[in-house]
Structure 1
Amino acid sequence: MFWWEGQGPGGLRVAFTDTSAGNLALHVGDDPGAVRERRRALESRMGIRPESLRFMEQVHSAIVAEVPSPVWGLTPADREQPPVADALLSPDGSAPLAVMVADCVPVVLAGIRGDGVPVTAAAHAGRAGMLDGILPNTVQAMRAAGAGELSAWIGPSVCGRCYEVPETMVAAAAHLPGAASRTSWGTPALDLPAAAAAQLGDLGVDTVRLPGCTMEEPDLFSHRRDAPTGRFAGLIWLPQTT
């Protein structure tokens, strides 16, 4: 079910799913009942309360939405109308967070407040969102919530050898260090995970970049390779949220 799973600060867990977890998105033409069943199976594997995992309606923006602390899990309105944003922030780390991708860069982040309480975030770093500042906005929101030293995990995404784009798109990303690339066949490309790592490093975030290109790995969903296709997820949570 997990492509990778690891430990974050303060007892946090971090993971990225693969195709064995199935499609987790409701917007790709899949059966909604089947998607919700997969989400419940994922929550069980994570050891969290059923229907407590927070998703967002991702629109390739630079918007960060704060998620309130869960009390009894999500209301029906929460489930049917998730925040329209490209990053979720839990200012006390109590809300399990998810970001869904199928080529874009999933980034999960964690920090600890001065009182020892974690601050967590999950960000969808697509090309448009990165150009508009989704990662700096997320880091700024976490620090405003009191997070000290920050850590980030960059999950699998399309790599710079595979993400072919027009030369104009490369030029538009000139302000992102590490973004310009060439495909393995010699055409213009963008390396968004490298740009994300460079940007987070410049912001003083300790960053782990995990392996895996969505175009090259059959165990990861890729919109470019298989459209229409499903979505896998980057996750961050506290196990004691059960």
Structure 2
Amino acid sequence: MGDVIDLGHGFRAAVTERHGGVSVPPYDSLNLGLGSGDDREAVLANREIAARDLGFDADRVVWMDQVHGPDVLVAAAPGVVGVCDAVVTTRPDLVLASLSADCLPVLAVEAHAGVWGAAHSGRLGTAHGVAANLVSAMVGQGARVDRITAFLGPGICGGCYEVPPQMRRETARDTPEAACTTRAGTAGVDMRAAVTAQLGRAGVDDIRVDGRCTLESPELFSHRRDAPTGRFASFVWRT
């Protein structure tokens, strides 16, 4: 289990790691993704374990049906909010979750207005600007953009994320910062640089970064390294 991160004013974030659960290989062991192919009961048990260890009830969590898209939904109740890749809420009892295994988790809070959100920004989500959409949705719920704190969880780094040149061009069409060259000298995508740029252009100045590369960090799930594999979760909540 990862450390709890203090985002200030009673807001917390945490990124789970792959060990400490009940799933068997290749999902060993704290797999939180129901869509990964793992046994459903094992995943539900893992979600209970993660919530207990982080200090909240599993029945408070809002999950997304993630599809690598740009859409944001507003959560008014726990459970699956719907098909989206970003979610916002103002309900103080809810915990928001983003699942990933190479894609970039984006968490954001605006403590003064009591608005917070979570997004799943993979290559397609990054190309579509889902992180900027998250900020817009938070503003629509009363947040002030200059008061938003964003946290970028672990994701595959640009040095490891090799893609075909055409895919790099498509991803960087609206966000040039997405284009990079991998350590192997091939075309790559840097989702962390792209999302940082998108948030900055949206007006978010306070951006905190986990910095770990999922492919290079054995304590995290990585689809590129291990597929099939599990999913870790990035949570954000108010205490």
TM-score (norm 2): 0.90
**Partner residue of 2:63?**
55
**Partner residue of 2:25?**
none
Could you list the structure 1 runs, at least 4 aligned residues long, displaced by more than 6 angstroms after superposition: none
**Partner residue of 1:164?**
162
**Partner residue of 1:195?**
194
Q: Percent identity?
A: 40
For 2:64, the aligned partner's letter is M
Change (3 A) 1:188 1:50: closer
Q: Does 2:51 correspond to 1:33?
A: no
Task: Spell out the pairing of 1:1-242 with structure 2 (5 A cutoff).
Answer: 1-2=1-2, 4-21=3-20, 22-68=30-76, 70=77, 74=78, 78=79, 82-112=81-111, 116-148=112-144, 149-172=147-170, 173-205=172-204, 206-239=206-239
SS in 2 for 1:61: coil
Please report how far the alpha carbon of residue 189 of structure 1 lies from its aligned counterpart in structure 2 after TM superposition: 0.3
Alpha carbons 1:214, 1:220 under 8 Å: kept = yes
| Post-superposition CA distance 1:43-92 (Å, at most 9, x none) | 11222223221111100111111111x5xxx4xxx4xx541110111124
SS in 1 for 2:47: helix
Alignment root-mean-square deviation, CA: 1.4
Instruction: Report the count of equivalent residues.
Output: 226
Give the distance between the partners of 1:105 and 1:156, measured in 2 at CA. Answer: 6
* Unmatched tracts of structure 1, length 5 or more: none
Please report how far the alpha carbon of residue 188 of structure 1 lies from its aligned counterpart in structure 2 after TM superposition: 0.5
SS in 1 for 2:218: coil
* Unmatched tracts of structure 2, length 5 or more: 21-29
Please report how far the alpha carbon of residue 175 of structure 1 lies from its aligned counterpart in structure 2 after TM superposition: 2.1
Please report how far the alpha carbon of residue 198 of structure 1 lies from its aligned counterpart in structure 2 after TM superposition: 1.3
Please report how far the alpha carbon of residue 93 of structure 1 lies from its aligned counterpart in structure 2 after TM superposition: 4.1
Alpha carbons 1:121, 1:138 under 8 Å: kept = yes
Alpha carbons 2:36, 2:229 under 8 Å: kept = yes
Please report how far the alpha carbon of residue 99 of structure 1 lies from its aligned counterpart in structure 2 after TM superposition: 0.2
**Partner residue of 2:23?**
none
